[in-house]
């Protein structure tokens, strides 16, 4: 198997697991952003812990730290940040994003096959029914998260803790973001469940593609300007 195919397969698997497990936790526990209860906390933790598991099982941390991005971003917003900072080629970026979206769709499809559509599959929703407010929330949260990723993976000596830092950052943004939009910060994670459920979920999913991608780009630019020269 070629190195390129291995990279894309890792992206597919990682995003599949993210959607199946983390969105699954949100669905089966009945996570509701309006209620700060156990389901809320469990969902935030699930997203973060999936990143930790995938980081160390597929080798994201080490892959980043040696400058050979061959692990698992499992997020187009992370991939665009790495692309802008010169960590991957345009060809790999396209391959990564395609694999991420396919993994998310398959994860959501399997989840639906097991639990049906009654629980919503962890889809995102507009804050106050307002697309612009929701985009702003997603831009801010994604920017925070991608900055954490770029920082954690910027030096080889960080490799042994990068997965924990990234997982912790994702948990953090979910702890505040679930209240507003359910927290996307990941276009693939949002698109998969929305596509499988269709209807109103699919009609607003563009918000959760545009917002995170803008946030990832802003984070990459901030990193490039302020910190990249120090690493």
pLDDT for 62: 41
With bands split at pLDDT 50, 70 and 90, how would you rate the model's confidence at 229? low
Residue 175 confidence (pLDDT) above 60 = yes
Distance CA 86, CA 111 (A): 35
**CATH, residue 75:** 1.20.1080.10
Domain count across the chain: 1
pLDDT for 153: 79
Domain span at residue 226 reads 3-230
Distance CA 96, CA 188 (A): 11
Q: Which two tokens stand for residue 70?
A: 């061959």
Q: Which two tokens stand for residue 108?
A: 């959501």
pLDDT for 65: 31
pTM greater than the 0.85 cutoff:
yes
The predicted-structure confidence for 102-135, as pLDDT tens digits, reads as follows 999 999 999 999 999 988 899 999 999 999 999 9
With bands split at pLDDT 50, 70 and 90, how would you rate the model's confidence at 209? very high
Q: What is the distance, to the nearest Å, from the Cα of residue 135 to the centroid of all Cα atoms in its chain?
A: 15
The predicted-structure confidence for 68-101, as pLDDT tens digits, reads as follows 334 568 999 999 999 999 888 999 999 999 999 9
Distance CA 102, CA 121 (A): 16
pLDDT for 55: 76
């Amino acid at each position: 198997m070629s190195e390129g195919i291995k990279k894309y397969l890792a992206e597919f698997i990682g995003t599949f697991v993210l959607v199946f497990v983390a969105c699954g936790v949100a669905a089966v526990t009945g996570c509701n952003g309006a209620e700060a209860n156990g389901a809320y906390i469990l969902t935030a933790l699930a997203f973060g812990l999936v990143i930790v598991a995938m980081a160390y099982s597929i080798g994201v941390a080490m892959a980043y730290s040696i400058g050979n991005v061959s692990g698992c971003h499992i997020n187009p917003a992370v991939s665009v940040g790495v692309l802008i900072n010169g960590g991957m080629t345009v060809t790999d970026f396209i391959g990564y994003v395609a694999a991420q979206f396919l993994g998310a769709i398959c994860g959501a499809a399997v989840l639906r096959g097991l639990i049906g559509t009654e629980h919503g599959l962890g889809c995102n929703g507009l804050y106050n029914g307002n697309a612009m407010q929701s985009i702003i929330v997603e831009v801010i949260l994604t920017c925070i998260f991608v900055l954490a990723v770029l920082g954690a993976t910027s030096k080889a000596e960080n490799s042994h803790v990068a997965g924990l830092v990234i997982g912790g950052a994702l948990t953090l943004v979910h702890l505040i973001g679930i209240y507003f939009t359910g927290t996307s910060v990941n276009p693939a994670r949002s698109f998969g469940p929305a596509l499988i459920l269709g209807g109103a979920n699919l009609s607003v999913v563009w918000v959760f593609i545009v917002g995170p991608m803008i946030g990832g780009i802003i984070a990459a630019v901030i990193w490039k300007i302020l910190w990249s020269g120090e690493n």
